[in-house]
Amino acid sequence: MNGEAGPPALGNFIRRLPKTETHLHIEGALPYELLRTLDPGRFTGDPPFWAPDYRYETFEQFEGILLDHAILWFTSAERYHEAARVIFEGLLAQNVRYLETSFHLGIVEFTGIPGPEIIRAIKSAVPPGMVVRVFTGMLRRNYTEVMAPVIDELHTWEELDGIDLHGVEVWELEPWTPPVWKRLREAGKETKAHAGEFGGPENVREALDLLGVRRIQHGVRAAEDEDLLRRLADEGVVLDICPISNVKLRVVPGLDRHPIRTFLERGIRCTVSTDDPFSFGNRLEDEYLGLAREAGFDHHLLARVARNGFEAGTMPAELRRSCLAEIDALERAADEGR
């Protein structure tokens, strides 16, 4: 799914458009070239799962491949810094001005790296011209004897910007989870949850009602429930959608069948991000180009998606104003054929 596509004027519009990434797993964005520095003989060429027609058979297969590679690199705070530096440079080259990325909290137990050190390492790699918010994400079963004390202290991590619920959506939501989300929100942190990817519409309702989130990661299967669609629009809930991920994980059959257009037409605020580019071989520009080429998005819809990211993110007011003004100017210029 990489490469140029669509009318040249639209491709130029996408390149110039200020953008956000609001759904990016930092371990899932591991630059493949860093693995090549570890073992040039093993990591040669592009991996097979980057092929445009590649589809993962199961979510477990996807998780396994990603984990097998990520654990080779993410062994220290310094490695997080180096990966973040390369990731951020690539995003800045695509005119990404604002990023929300998450690291998996389980890495704290697996490697022994303290979470605050990971956050500082990531933030120390932020280049001029970009604002980055760092979240931590945890699984529904992460509240173990070892991890419970860590989770109970998350609200005290000053540099942590928010939390997210990762992993298998069909696992039952355990009683510890809502109080943690409430405590983090009361501490001024942003709260999110993955829902409505493999779990159905009821999974989205659970995130809204029990966790109190207004930022849903994916939310694609909300399209199956008319009442839920109305609620998402009425309550201003944001869906941070990753279209190419949804295709490669078989959540939807293709970009031409993706419900993101329906969501936007119904007044639901959607952003577009890459999710796990290590696993999908995608860049943010590929997401926009794919929506243009396969889902028929014109420059107005693409501008709306970009605008939604700046309206949803927790960025400085001046950055939001300037980027929205730039998007408006680009949209007017495209209308006038300039």
Which residues have a catalytic role annotated?
A: 197
Q: Is 138 exposed, middle or buried (0-12, 13-18, 19+ CB in 10 A)?
A: buried
Closest among 259, 273, 269 to 308, alpha carbons compared: 269
SS3 146: coil
Instruction: Please give the structure tokens belonging to residue 185.
Output: 């929100």
**What H or E segment, with its residue span, contains residue 218?**
strand 215-218
Closest among 328, 332, 275, 334 to 304, alpha carbons compared: 328
Number of domains forming the structure of the chain = 1
Asked if the structure places residue 2 within a domain, the reply is no
Strand 215-218 and strand 238-241: pairing? Answer: parallel
CATH of the domain at 152: 3.20.20.140
Mean per-residue pLDDT of the chain: 95
Asked if the structure places residue 330 within a domain, the reply is yes
Mean pLDDT of 19-45: 96
Asked if the structure places residue 135 within a domain, the reply is yes
What whole-number distance in Å separates Cα of residue 189 and Cα of residue 335?
39
- Give the CA distances from residue 236 to residues 165, 269, 286, in Å, rounded to whole numbers and listed in that order: 20, 7, 27
Asked if the structure places residue 279 within a domain, the reply is yes
Query: Does the pLDDT at position 97 exceed 70?
Result: yes
What count of residues does the chain have?
A: 338
Domain of 273 in residue numbering reads as: 8-335
Q: What is the pLDDT of residue 336?
A: 87
> What are the pLDDT digits (tens) for 271-310?
999 999 999 999 999 999 999 999 999 999 999 999 999 9
Question: Residue 138's Cα: distance from chain center in Å?
Answer: 15
Q: What is the pTM of this model?
A: 0.95
Asked if the structure places residue 224 within a domain, the reply is yes
Asked if the structure places residue 3 within a domain, the reply is no
Query: Does the pLDDT at position 5 exceed 90?
Result: no
> What are the pLDDT digits (tens) for 312-333?
999 999 999 999 999 999 999 9
**Which pLDDT band, with edges at 50, 70 and 90, does 2 fall under?**
very low
Mean pLDDT of 228-234: 98
What whole-number distance in Å separates Cα of residue 250 and Cα of residue 265?
23
Asked if the structure places residue 226 within a domain, the reply is yes
> What are the pLDDT digits (tens) for 121-162?
999 999 999 999 999 999 999 999 999 999 999 999 999 999
Phi/psi region, residue 91 (left: phi>0; alpha: psi -120 to 50; beta: rest), is: alpha
Asked if the structure places residue 237 within a domain, the reply is yes
Closest among 109, 62, 110, 56 to 250, alpha carbons compared: 56
